Amino acid sequence: MRRAILHIAQPSEAGVARVVTDLAAGQCANGDQVIVACPVTGTLWWTAARRGARVVQWDAVRSPGPALAREIAGVRRIVDMVRPDVVHLHSAKAGLAGRLAIRGRLPTVYQPHAWSFDAVSAALRTVAVQWERAGARWAHQVVCVSDGERAHGVAVGIRSRYTVVRNGVDLAWCGPPDASSREAARCRLGVRVTGPLAVCVARLCRQKGQDVLLDAWAELEKRMPQARLVLVGGGPDQSALAARASPTVGFAGAVADPRDWYIAADVVVLASRWEAGMALAPMEAMACSRPVVVTDVPGAREVLPPRHVPFAVVPLEDSAALAAAMARLLTDPVTSRALGEEAQAHIRCHYDVRRVVEHMYTVYGEARRVWATGRTA
């Protein structure tokens, strides 16, 4: 049965864009009519179109504010034009505007990609939690990417029909690098580094914790002055981070395809303060046979091979622990290489994005069934 699937997304870059693009590509390959509504800025607009989806403009900004009424009206207009069989809302803003616009009148799937109340100040947290509790009645399925993310929602009283669908990786895109590819990737990127290289692929913002990473790097470079760190991504904190970074830290800006950066690295690190289970970047890095260091956000341990946890997971906002974990891998290439190979096998065995696409059809079917009964959460 050919379905009309409408994805609505804000943000339209980084991990969310990759998740939506991979879903849209898989659904298009299965013969579905896939529509992606998103801002024209960011990478999602053209990557989804290149993979076969119909892309329509939805003007939306990240934070709620005066534009919300216009954003809600935009969702209504798009839904009336597309007439989808199911609507899949991605991230907090699409979840807000989309649920207020549709109000359960169509089968609706909401995927937070990290809960909204983790991204706001303490003063706004109560309001954000109250909204997520209220808005749950207009989602026929809520998709979390880890058991930890689901438990986090349940703990604050969000009652809904949850399904855990862990992120997947496009294994063809992450194809195993050959023995010389690290140097070849550095050459393609113009990175003239002969010593150890750590890479962070993430939006430059408070969530991703690059400020903590720079504190850790200041400690590490005292022990390893030949090591280099590159932050790959753009974002609102770029100027502030660049102002405090040492000369051993580089800024690559936002990139549409980070694969060469994973391959060029000796370790890939992410110092997040919160995540939707686990960010896509460490999974992609592991698929490229690179060891990772991540903070202990809810669900982060779920996608790691068990032997990796002592090497890979550090406490939140603990710059000393982060520095020690990076140094341990950067100074021990034998262990680092073994962990990377084990991580690659683990991701290829358990986290193929094609499984995500198939699982999501089950979610859509359940959303349609619940919608047809007229029940709410």
Q: Where are the alpha helices (DSSP H) in the chain?
A: 14-29, 44-50, 68-82, 91-102, 122-135, 147-155, 181-189, 210-223, 238-244, 259-264, 280-287, 309-312, 319-330, 333-350, 353-373
* 135 vs 137: CA distance, rounded Å: 5
pLDDT average, residue stretch 113-122: 77
Question: Nearest 5 degrees, angle CA 188-CA 193-CA 196?
Answer: 120
In this prediction, residue 103 carries a pLDDT of 92
Please check whether residue 123 is in contact with residue 142, taking contact to mean a CB–CB distance below 8 angstroms. Answer: no
Residue 58's pLDDT band, with cuts at 50, 70 and 90, is: very high
pLDDT for 67 equals: 87
Distance CA 43, CA 169 (A): 18
Q: What integer pLDDT is reported at residue 127 of this predicted model?
A: 87
Dihedral angle over CA of 191, 195, 198, 199, nearest 10:
10
Tokens linked to 356:
């995500």
In terms of residues, how long is the chain?
Answer: 377
Burial tier of 219 (Cβ tally within 10 Å: 0-12, 13-18, 19+): middle
Phi and psi at residue 201, to the nearest 5°: -105, 105
DSSP states along 67-130: THHHHHHHHHHHHHHH--SEEEEEHHHHHHHHHHHHTTSS-EEEE-SS-GGGSS-HHHHHHHHH
pLDDT > 90? residue 125: no
The residue type at 245: A
Above 80 in pLDDT, residue 329? yes
Token digits for 369? Answer: 């069934």
Q: Please report which confidence band the pLDDT of residue 316 belongs to, taking 50, 70 and 90 as the band edges.
A: very high
Q: Which of 77-86, 107-116, 229-238 has the lowest average pLDDT?
A: 107-116
Tokens of 200: 């962070």
pLDDT band at 178 (very low <50, low <70, confident <90, very high): low
pLDDT at 84: 95
Give the closest residue to 360 by CA, choosing from 15, 13, 14, 34: 34
How big is the chain by its Cα radius of gyration, in Å?
20
Average pLDDT for 107-115:
90
φ, ψ dihedrals at 300, nearest 5°: -60, -35
Are 153 and 144 within 8 A, CB to CB? yes
Q: According to the model, what pLDDT value does residue 33 have?
A: 94
- Is the pLDDT at 179 greater than 70? The verdict is no
CATH 3.40.50.2000 correct for 4-168+353-373: yes
Q: Hey, where are the domains in the chain?
A: 4-168+353-373, 181-350
Domain 181-350: CATH superfamily is Glycogen Phosphorylase B; (3.40.50.2000)
Give the phi and the psi of residue 133 in degrees, each rounded to 5. -65, -45
Neighbours of 224 (CB within 10 A): 18
**Distance between CA 284 and CA 259 in Å, rounded?**
8
Q: Report the candidate in 238, 255, 302, 306 with the shortest Cα–Cα distance to residue 275.
A: 302
Q: What is the mean pLDDT of the chain?
A: 89
Task: For the beta carbon of residue 189, count every other beta carbon within 10 angstroms.
Answer: 17
Structure token digits, residue 298:
């809810």
Per-residue DSSP letter, 299:
T
Secondary structure of residue 8 in the 3-state scheme: strand
**181-350 shares the fold of 4-168+353-373:** yes
Burial of 254 (0-12, 13-18, 19+ CB in 10 A): middle
